[in-house]
């Protein structure tokens, strides 16, 4: 569950990037966040991760008001959300397996849980056979699948993806969205910022559009453009 | 903290060191240089303290009495002196005993003093030992104000010079040691900054997948402590060897009486090792904490 109430974000340089944003995303929803370049999509995702603080307003995640969170509690907020970025952000000197296991080592999981969960996560993204390769030896789509496995291996209730298909060709993009959809079917709330109109139009999921920092549309089963 | 997390810190910390070999060696060398100087000051201060306390324990005031006091008066005076603040012990040495002592000292030339028994020129004396050499002047003052006393004497100037010298030495070494500590922390922190910088992308990834600040810092702290402790071990070995060599040399040079007032090697090497390793750990940890500060705020 994600809730933004009257959220504004003005950067130090006076740039108003988000204006009075009100969003409520229920548990298990699949939501696309669309809008032109520079409209504030990434900033909104950074607010959820507490990489950026809202100027005012309230952000509630899993029932917790994150605006009141102390610095030491931020890691635990981030553990409740899986995150995927356009540029994959994998560790180049670790294998596929090690990259995914690392997310569990960081939260000090039991080694026997790591040995059990990592192969499961890798099979969910279809990479069981490539677990000993390094990111350099993978295609972009495969790298993004590794980062999806890493985001999901600790079983977060929310998955946030900032243009996960931004660097991928249409075919690979469809694979990634298919995996996101599978995660969603298993109960994970998914929020995906994207420019990919084909995907948005094909999925017929909830669409939230922002333009110039203002929320201009929130449709239950929407397309990339406003059809009304 | 869990054991496997500690293992992870140590594994990553040592691999940081290996990845950064040249800088690691350079910074260990600087730490050794700093710790050597710190260690030398420590050894000098310890030895001067040792010599000073040996001297201090010998500080005594001798009180010469006027001639012909009765036993009753002498007993009363002894009690009065014992009551003075800072006095540990009062021993009365009568002029007869003093003469005998002198004769004994002269050995086979003791006959020179023959015949003095009937007209003994030596005074009756109280030998006063002190609880604390710092009290010497105030005790001497109190003694001077008593009656029936001819002369109060102690190694005033020598003692004061020594006390002043140890004080100046302590303060100077404290200052120099503080400066060196800051320099070592700066050097370690700069070395680790290179690793931190090389791994800034990794730190960013760790932070957004939910690593705590301490988890991110761990390997760098290990790296810093390893730099500090390696420097400490090497400099302890160098200083220990140097100390043995120097003390031996001085003893061989027929300066044996000097070596007597050196601290024994065994007691100096343990406190030195503890001190330097402790200092190494502290500067390593502080240096690494300083270097991650900037990159951890994501
Ligand atoms: N730290 C910052 N300081 C000042 N302005 C910023 C900062 N970060 C982002 N902005 C501005 O905020 C606006 C929105 O940026 P944001 O990255 O959220 O857009 P976006 O919708 O994700 O765009 P894109 O689709 O190109 O990724 C941009 O105009 C950007 O210049
Ligand atoms: Mg963006």
Q: How many CA atoms lie within 13 A of B198 on its CB side?
A: 14
Average pLDDT of the residues in B75-80: 88
Pocket of ligand 1 (CB under 6 A): A 11, 13, 15, 17, 35, 37-43
User: Which residues of chain B are within 8 Å of residue A154 when distances are taken between CB atoms?
Assistant: 210
Domain ranges of chain B: 3-55+161-293, 60-153
Least Cα separation, residue A203 to chain B (angstroms): 28
Give me the residue spans of the domains in chain A. 90-155
| Residue nearest atom 6 of ligand 1, based on CA coordinates | A11
How many A/B residue pairs have CB atoms within 8 Å?
Answer: 44
Residues of A in contact with B2 (CB under 8 A): 108
Report pLDDT for B107. 74
Q: Is the pLDDT of residue B156 over 80?
A: no
Question: pLDDT higher for A80 or B48?
Answer: A80
- Pairwise CB contact (< 8 Å): A51 & B298: yes
Average pLDDT on B43-62 reads: 75
pLDDT one-digit tens code per residue, A164-183:
999 999 999 999 999 999 99
Average pLDDT of every residue of chain B: 84
Mean pLDDT, rounded, for B110-137:
81
User: End-to-end alpha-carbon separation of chain A, Å?
Assistant: 28
- Collect residues with CB below 5 Å from ion ligand 2: A 42
Q: Do A72 and B213 touch (CB under 8 A)?
A: yes
pLDDT tens digit sequence for B204-250: 999 999 999 999 999 999 999 999 999 999 999 999 999 888 888 87
Top-confidence residue, B105 or B145: B145
The answer to whether A133 and A95 have CB atoms below 8 angstroms apart is yes
- Is B178's pLDDT higher than 70? yes
Q: Does residue A42 carry a pLDDT above 90?
A: yes
Looking at residue B228, its pLDDT comes to 93
Q: How confident is the model at residue A140 (pLDDT cuts 50, 70, 90)?
A: very high
Of A27-31, A167-171, B151-155, highest mean pLDDT: A27-31
On the question of pLDDT at B108 being above 90, the answer is: no
Averaged pLDDT for residues A27-33 = 96
Q: Interface pTM (ipTM) of the complex?
A: 0.89
Surface of A (162-221) touching B: CB under 8 A:
none
Q: Which residue among A72, A78, A90 sits closest to B210, beta carbon to beta carbon?
A: A78
Task: Kindly report the length of chain A.
Answer: 228
Per-residue pLDDT, averaged over A197-201, amounts to: 92
**Predicted local confidence at residue A162, as pLDDT:** 96
pLDDT in the model for residue B176:
87
Is the CATH number of domain B60-153 3.90.1150.10? no
B207 near A CB under 8 A: yes
């Amino acid at each position: 569950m994600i809730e933004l109430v009257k959220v504004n974000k003005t950067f130090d340089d006076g740039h108003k990037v988000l204006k009075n944003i009100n969003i409520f995303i229920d548990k298990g929803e699949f939501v696309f966040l669309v809008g032109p370049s520079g409209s504030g999509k990434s900033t909104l995702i950074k607010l959820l991760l507490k990489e950026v603080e809202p100027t005012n307003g309230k952000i509630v995640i899993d029932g917790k008001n994150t605006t009141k969170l102390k610095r030491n509690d931020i890691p635990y907020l981030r553990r409740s959300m899986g995150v995927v970025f356009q540029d994959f952000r994998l560790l180049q000197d670790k294998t596929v397996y090690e990259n995914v296991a690392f997310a569990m080592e960081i939260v000090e999981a039991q080694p026997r849980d790591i040995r059990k969960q990592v192969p499961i996560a890798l099979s969910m993204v279809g990479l069981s056979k490539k677990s000993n390769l390094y990111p350099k030896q993978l295609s972009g789509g495969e790298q993004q699948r590794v980062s999806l496995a890493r985001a999901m291996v600790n079983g977060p209730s929310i998955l946030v993806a900032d243009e996960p298909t931004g660097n991928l060709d249409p075919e690979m993009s469809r694979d990634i969205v298919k995996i996101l959809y599978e995660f969603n079917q298993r109960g994970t709330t998914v929020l995906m910022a994207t420019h990919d109109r084909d995907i948005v139009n094909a999925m017929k999921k909830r669409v939230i559009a922002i333009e110039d920092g203002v929320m201009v549309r929130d449709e239950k089963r929407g397309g990339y453009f406003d059809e009304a | 903290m869990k054991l496997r997390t500690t293992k992870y810190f140590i594994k990553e910390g040592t691999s940081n060191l290996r990845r950064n070999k040249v800088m690691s060696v350079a910074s260990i060398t600087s730490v050794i240089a700093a710790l050597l100087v710190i260690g030398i000051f420590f050894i000098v201060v310890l030895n001067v303290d040792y010599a000073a306390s040996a001297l201090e324990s010998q500080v005594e005031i001798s009180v010469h009495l006027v001639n012909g006091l009765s036993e009753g008066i002498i007993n009363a005076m002894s009690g009065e002196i014992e009551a003075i603040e800072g006095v540990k012990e009062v021993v009365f040495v009568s002029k007869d005993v003093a003469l005998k002592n002198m004769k004994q000292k002269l050995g086979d030339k003791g006959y020179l003093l023959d015949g003095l028994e009937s007209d003994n020129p030596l005074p009756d004396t109280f030998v006063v030992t002190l609880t604390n050499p710092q009290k010497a002047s105030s005790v001497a003052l109190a003694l001077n104000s008593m009656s029936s006393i001819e002369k109060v004497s102690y190694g005033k100037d020598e003692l004061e010079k020594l006390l002043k010298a140890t004080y100046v030495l302590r303060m100077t070494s404290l200052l120099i040691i503080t400066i060196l500590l800051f320099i070592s922390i700066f050097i370690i922190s700069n070395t680790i900054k290179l690793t931190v910088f090389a791994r800034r992308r990794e730190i960013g990834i760790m932070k957004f997948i939910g690593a705590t600040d301490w988890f991110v810092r761990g390997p760098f702290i290990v790296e810093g402590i390893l730099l500090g402790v390696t420097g400490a071990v090497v400099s302890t070995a160098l200083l220990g060897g140097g100390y043995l060599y120097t003390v031996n040399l001085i003893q061989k040079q027929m300066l044996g009486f000097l070596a007597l007032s050196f601290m024994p090697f065994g007691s100096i090497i343990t406190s030195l090792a503890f001190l330097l390793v402790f200092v190494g750990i502290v500067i390593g940890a502080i240096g690494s904490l300083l270097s991650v500060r900037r990159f951890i705020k994501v």
